[in-house]
Structure 1
Amino acid sequence: MCDHDHVAELRRLLADLDGQRDRENAAFRQGFTVGFAHGFDLGEKNRLREEAELWAALAEKVRQMGRSRYLNFAELEHARYGGPRALAGLPRDGDYPGRNA
């Protein structure tokens, strides 16, 4: 190949430089769009799976609490509030008495 052929090839390539850049940008844009959509879909599937696993674990914990011991209302109030719920806001032994006490 002589120098004249090289020059002609270089001119042809340079003449298509904008077209080549446009094709590369379009290919990059398309690849990014497809990759982003795939990553989003994959992330959404993983989130849904993890959420289902967490809810299943929480539901099982709640079921186990219900099976382990059945508390009547008074026992439940005592477990939650240390006595009847109506008295929950009253001072208890060991509470901070305040500055003016």
Structure 2
Amino acid sequence: MPTLEIFGLIVLAGLLWLWFDSLKAREACMRESRAACAAEGLLLLDDTVAISTVRPTRDGEGRLRLQRVYAFEYSDTGNNRRKGAVTLIGDRVVTLYLEPWPT
């Protein structure tokens, strides 16, 4: 098999891994954002999250992982929109942020 074909298969395998890993991370993010909104009595608007940042980083054990930040919107009344974010390193949620209400 020529070198170019082998290289193409390796690139394709890497892209497939990235796609499946991103789906798994997005599901973890959706689960956490739904749970956080339910715990606070909030509405998760549009029932979706959107990826805002992807970058390589090291986890607590020093291994290279992808850090993903997903943004979402929620509401306490249904008439307003507030922003939230979930940060994952690999498939582990490390932070969950809910924008504070005005006082």
TM-score (norm 1): 0.39
Give the structure, 1 or 2, with the largest relative contact order (CA under 8 Å, sep 6 or more).
2
Bigger radius of gyration, 1 or 2?
A: 1
More helix by share: 1
Higher percent of residues as strand: 2
